[in-house]
Copies of this chain bind each other. A is one copy, B any other.
């Protein structure tokens, strides 16, 4: 996706102050003086699909701002199954728990080749101790995580499988321009929605047959937002059915 596809290529970032997506990131509100408080330049880091940014339980030394790409946070249960508890995209921060001196709580795995800014925990803490400007953005980010988690809980884990999938696709299309969105593998979809791989597959296959989604590449689809909203509201195309629910 990016011109430089060199995995894990460390690259000294040009000044944060000139960052193209600065308004979206944690450092949005920092002043020139704030940046002078940083001891080291911020590095940019690239990962390819399928690679792991960190593992659950790892001792954290940094948090990461997503510049581009998509990351999933995976939590394994005692029975060996796993759930995906969050999907992170441009502007999101990965590994926030590090600021609370916790080990990483999840596995962070790249879904779509991604580029990060690596922010050492020590630098963040020191910056926050010596300037009030970071706090507002940190607050906003924590808030976003929580409100996303609430959405997740209230929308993605209740209702029929069809409705959950529809909710997920709409959720995923929200950051992408227009109606295109990342289409997770069926196993991931199951882990996101608490349904089985087979059920996820059946629903997606049906959506494809009905033209609600069209693949443009294996993991990228164009969605018919209206049709999906109708699914969420319980409208079925079957004319004999009364619109219950």
Q: Quick check: is A241 within 8 A (CB to CB) of the other chain?
A: no
Whether B105 lies near A154 (C-beta < 8 A) is no
Chain B residues positioned under 8 Å from A77 (CB to CB) = 154-155, 158
Question: Is there a chain B Cβ closer than 8 Å to A146's Cβ?
Answer: yes
Known A-B contacts A83-B158, A129-B132, A233-B78; A149 and B153 likewise in contact (beta carbons under 8 Å): yes
Contact partners of A155 in chain B: CB under 8 A: 77
Q: Which residue of B lies closest to A74 (CB)?
A: B154
CB of A209 within 8 A of chain B? no
| Closest Cβ–Cβ distance, residue A138 to chain B (whole Å) | 8
The size class of the interface chain A forms with chain B is 35 or more
When chains A and B are docked, how far (Å) is the Cα of A25 from the Cα of B85? 27
A97 at the interface (CB under 8 A from B): yes
The residue on B at minimum CB distance from A194 is B158
**Known contacts being A102-B143, A158-B83, is A150 close to B149, with CB within 8 Å?**
yes
**Contacting residues, chain B, for A81 (C-beta < 8 A):** 158
Q: Chain A 148-164, CB within 8 Å of chain B: the 1/0 string?
A: 01101111011000000
Tell me, yes or no, whether A33 is within 8 Å of chain B by CB. no
| Residue A96 lies at the interface, judged by CB distance under 8 Å to chain B | yes
- Cβ-defined contact, A75 with B154, below 8 A: yes
Question: Which residue on B lies nearest to A128, using beta carbons?
Answer: B135
